[in-house]
Structure 1
């Protein structure tokens, strides 16, 4: 296949190594075409002439590090994705009245975090609740979109009408075809940029519920164990770690034990 810029196996391996170094993400060899399509946009935009020059630019320009990460991270999400998890959250809220903290670890463009907020608001029957919701991502572009809380109308078609009416405003004029999260719901969520590989996170203990869904699949086993151990350490003994449908932590029985469908309790002692 003819390509605009020379792109070799060595270039792909260099991208693999750099992304692993910066974010702990292990790119499968099947992602070589995706890497080209994502990074060629940066190469064109920067007018650096090719992959070799881009790597030099990346090395010498600290601000490009985040652009590199943003270009290569995958953000697949939807409102109330894996709905059984939100039923589990409802049960946890019923069993644990009072002040709680929830961390949505990979919030992407915000659908998961706002689904958590809607579940909390419905449980309390109001937007003013004793539950703090932190939502983070490594990708600053998706965090900007999440903070705006504006979506194409078709993104909320799967949400039941009562929720659409209560939690979203329909756009008019130039915003026709879009919806916006109501301000009261938006205020329930605090968005922050966090790289899980950082030696410390701006998250104070304790966190009662952690949503970390379909994140670990991008890391190797060693990194998975290290991150899972750090995350679970933030939970109380009856806290919940909610994983994604593609994740199974049976190999880490010393860290977590199964509580329900892709839901775990921390192991202590």
Structure 2
């Protein structure tokens, strides 16, 4: 299946307007591959037919979710970039506790199939076992309903849990009663700490239930152009406590951005609202 230049421009412009993701011409083959299954399911012969359906009133109601599911990238792992979790436990949490705040609140922004928020839940619950007055809440969001459904199920193939330390596996993962099954599930006590919801980063206002102490948004903003990245990080700051922290992916940087954040470690930033006035 191929996508003609006109259809690619039409779909890619729509994706940019809706999701902020810019697809360059070298992504045509990738987009064709991801749409192939949808055309089969809809029994449509060409991408032109798909465009006609997508931009019809019915398609705008029913199909755009499937398009967003198809085009978003959902690469994640348990304990991905482990130095971030070491910094969280060793630096951020002790400093936060000294402030005497009531509940530690974290947002996994772009949570994919759940490995990141469940890693956070493991790390924070382990910390709470050593600090009896520590309580925490995690909200996890993604644009893709497909991966959110997977995250809510909290079921993973045993190959996926290889990065999880053995002590945490024993405490937080349940094996199937069928001992031949390669699947494990996050324990209910940990799942209760995580609230999942769908969120589009292009929304002007994020419907979040609380102001945050930490935002993990890792390996997400690389898919946006510079102006979209800057606007998104500015919106993050509106929901971040003063002295709260933003964690980005290893290849992401805010160098040169007009945002009230100070880099304090590789890809770790502290919210400094006073910088907005400088």
- TM-score, scaled to structure 1: 0.93
Contact 2:230 / 2:259 at 8 angstroms: preserved in 1? no
1:128 offset after TM fit, Å? 9.9
Q: Deviations over 1:199-224 (max 9, x none)?
A: 22111442110001111111111111
1:40 offset after TM fit, Å? 1.1
Residue equivalent to 2:79: 80
- TM-score, scaled to structure 2: 0.91
Contact 2:107 / 2:215 at 8 angstroms: preserved in 1? yes
1:17 aligned residue (13, 17, 20): 13
Residue equivalent to 1:265: 270
Provide closer, same or farther for how the CA distance between residues 223 and 175 of structure 1 changes in structure 2, counting only shifts above 3 A.
Answer: farther
1:40 aligns with 2:36: yes
1:253 offset after TM fit, Å? 5.0
- Counting matched residue pairs gives 265
1:112 aligns with 2:116: yes
Contact 2:233 / 2:259 at 8 angstroms: preserved in 1? no
Aligned equivalents of 1:142, 1:25: Cα separation in 2: 18
Give RMSD over aligned pairs: 1.8
Aligned equivalents of 1:221, 1:255: Cα separation in 2: 16
1:125 aligned residue (123, 129, 134): 129
Moved over 6 A (4+): none
1:267 offset after TM fit, Å? 3.2
Q: Deviations over 1:20-74 (max 9, x none)?
A: 0111111233221110010011011001221011011111221211100000000
* SS of match in other structure, 2:242: coil
Aligned equivalents of 1:7, 1:131: Cα separation in 2: 47
Contact 1:254 / 1:267 at 8 angstroms: preserved in 2? no
Aligned equivalents of 1:164, 1:69: Cα separation in 2: 33
1:148 offset after TM fit, Å? 0.4
Aligned equivalents of 1:69, 1:241: Cα separation in 2: 25
Of the structure 1 ranges 92-101 and 137-146, higher mean CA displacement relative to structure 2 is found in 92-101
Structure 1: state its 5+ residue gaps.
none
1:129 offset after TM fit, Å? 5.3
Residue equivalent to 1:235: 240
2:23 aligned residue (24, 27, 50): 27
